[in-house]
Amino acid sequence: MDILITGGRGQLGTELQKILECGRSELGEIPCELQAARCTCVDADELDIADAASVEDFFSQNHFDLVFNCAAMTNVNGCESNRDLAMRVNAIGARNIAVQAERAGAKLVHVSTDYVFSGEGTTPFSEWDQCAPQSVYGKSKWLGEQYVQSFCSRFFIVRTSWLYGYAGANFVKTIEKIAREKGVLQVVNDQFGNPTNAADLAYHLLKIAVTQEYGIYHCTGKGICSWYDFACEIVKDAGVNCEVNPCTTEEYPTPAKRPAYSALDHQMLRCTVGDDMRDWKVALKCYFDNRENGGKTL
């Protein structure tokens, strides 16, 4: 099987490539259909997914049976200040990949986000709940989802949230860095969601990809917490002596509107391939235990 991973140097793309190469993840062996897969990883400097001609040319020169679209503009505040770039990457880029995957007869796994929801509620959002994004990032990702559904017949859209991994920048690394440098943190305590380890997500993307259970999935760490709770657990697991203080969203304003509540329910996973996502605290502890070797599985 020939596989393409866009966003190949990001935290999820890197994780996918790693476990495809070694044949297993922290959660176990990957599907047997993928054990001998040939993997091509590209990032923005190698393939501009927003350029339709470039994407068409790239697919015409290569054969792929399966495509993982992990490329995205994920800087939420940056999307607010550069709406056109957000649209190009998150919406038009998704469309271009979907069009070429369909022409190639390839399956497409497209990674999306909890930000497609309004953030208003008190119970986890299901896959069938109405999307109502409030930020440019969320709106651009929501349009990308619609393009994938319109232009590709063999798609899996997988929404995740609060992602962190061994590669790339993320909340976990930022909190640890500031905690070590300053010894005191102030983190919002009125926004709730699901921290997600990239190793867990990548494993489930591969499980889903070998099936014909097409559709929309939610895939996050199990359990709900605030950013403040998440930060406290990071500081504890990192072994940093740091004071973590809660604050409100109003006390810590940002250019983009953040969801107050964006926890996701995994109904589609439970009804198809099974839900083996770990509790977010367990997965975070494993991240710190394994990060010195880059999360390489034995």
Catalytic annotation, residues: 137
Structure tokens at 206: 């591969």
> Could you give the CA distance from residue 196 to residue 206 in angstroms, rounded to a whole number?
16
Rounded distance between C-alpha atoms, residue 286 and residue 291, angstroms: 8
What is 57-83 written as a DSSP string? HHHHHS--SEEEE------HHHHHH-H
Q: What letter would DSSP give residue 297?
A: -
* CA-wise closest residue to 55 among 96, 87, 25, 6: 96
Long-range (24+ apart) CB contacts under 8 A made by 16-23 are: 16/68, 16/70, 16/202, 16/205, 16/206, 17/41, 18/294, 18/295, 18/296, 19/199, 19/202, 19/203, 19/206, 19/297, 20/206, 22/296, 22/297
Q: Which residues pair with 40 in a beta bridge?
A: 4
